[in-house]
Amino acid sequence: MNITSRLPEVGTTIFSIMSKLALEHSALNLGQGFPDFPVSAKLIELVHQQMKEGHNQYAPMPGALPLRKTIADVIEKTYRQKIDFETEITVTAGGTEAIFASISALVNSGDEVIVFDPSYDSYDPAIRLNGGVPVHLNLLPPNFSIDWNLVRSKINKRTRFILVNTPHNPAGAVLSHSDLKTLETLAAEHDLIVLSDEVYERIIFENKIHESVLKYPDLAKRSIAIFSFGKTFHATGWKVGYAIAPQHLTQEIRKAHQFITFSVNTPVQLALAEFLNDPENYLHLGKFYQQKRDFFLESIKGTSLQPLPCFGSYFQLLAYDERFKKSDREMAEWMTREMKVAPIPVSAFYKDQSDHRLLRFCFAKTEETLRKAGEILKKI
């Protein structure tokens, strides 16, 4: 059959490629971003309980009511922003679906969306599948900060969205109060929608504060904030996230959401609603992952690899020196085959395949896994 691909250059993701290579060579997989330690036994028991009680049919399209109510309570306590659980929260099949549904609903043919690279690999295809035009602006190491003057220069009458990510995957950078105020000003001046990927909101270090778009009332009025229970509760395979947006944006997002997944796993939603009622289940996540980051950094002391600043997420970037005459893709593959540790090349997160000789390592692993990885990396 003769077809024209809408994503002709898209193949298997780098995450799948590196995970397959890691499996083939029995390498420690620090590439794909998933924890290798268990989900809370209490949370699993709550899911089991909901299943046994018969909550196994479709949930309401916007999300189970108890979960939306609990999310609204948590948001108000966290960001001092009142959210209407009926009209401003949509539970989705992970953060990725929340992003796709938002773009599908609100990006029209020819609309431009500003994206900051390195960026999560679903952003660009989601924009193009919906007829939008991604405008990629590069963030540069070591700080990966946004050049707002460059952003201003790229905004024109076709610009519809600005897509931001904080804490940032893969860089571990976080946006500041000043960044959010500048974003608020630009969005108001040019009547833009802000799509804010905040799935690592709870994983932030060094006493830094997560600057959500929801903390800024004027910005919140034109923003969609995306969150993920998979990241917060170490359950990436459950694929449950949510989008928070003003009513006029939410009603459009739900129009797309109902034809993408319609609704999300019922017993898991109801279990999460109960689990969220105890703040102890999520308030200390930053400290938990900072200890893992520090353990990983201590484990690799003595290697030639140099860590870049990491203030959030569960990824650490390491730079390799010019002794290695390899691109970051070649370096990642060599490390997987020969050294038995699999990272992700950071060039995969850039549209222009910029090679800054950087590799991303996931430290959402047990100390045993991180210790083994450190012993190997010290040989490099």
Domain spanning 57-278, CATH class: alpha beta
pLDDT reading at 310 higher than 80: yes
Is the fold of 14-33+283-377 the same as that of 57-278? no
- Residue 92 to residues 4, 59, 153, 311, Cα–Cα distance (Å): 30, 11, 34, 27
pLDDT reading at 281 higher than 80: yes
pLDDT for 363 equals: 98
Region 124-144: mean pLDDT is 97
pLDDT reading at 186 higher than 80: yes
Q: Which amino acid is at 300?
A: I
Pair 23, 353: CB distance under 8 Å:
no
Domain boundaries, given as residue ranges, for the chain: 14-33+283-377, 57-278
pLDDT for 34 equals: 87
pLDDT for 9 equals: 83
pLDDT for 131 equals: 97
pLDDT for 322 equals: 87
pLDDT for 234 equals: 96
Region 270-293: mean pLDDT is 97
pLDDT for 3 equals: 87
Helix (H) or strand (E) holding 358: strand 358-362
Region 262-289: mean pLDDT is 97
pLDDT reading at 286 higher than 80: yes
pLDDT for 353 equals: 77
- Residue 319 to residues 134, 303, 330, 353, Cα–Cα distance (Å): 28, 11, 14, 16
Pair 68, 258: CB distance under 8 Å:
no
**338-376: per-residue pLDDT in tens?**
999 999 999 999 999 788 999 999 999 999 999 999 999
pLDDT reading at 245 higher than 90: yes
Question: Strand 112-117 to strand 133-138: parallel, antiparallel, or no bridges (unpaired)?
Answer: parallel
Give domain 14-33+283-377's CATH superfamily: Aspartate Aminotransferase, domain 1 (3.90.1150.10)
In what side-by-side order are the strands of the sheet with 193-197?
89-92, 241-244, 223-228, 193-197, 159-165, 112-117, 133-138
pLDDT for 354 equals: 81
- Residue 293 to residues 327, 343, 362, Cα–Cα distance (Å): 25, 15, 9
Between 322 and 71, residue with greater pLDDT: 71
Q: Which of 7-16, 80-89, 141-150, 176-185 has the lowest mean pLDDT?
A: 7-16
pLDDT reading at 13 higher than 90: no
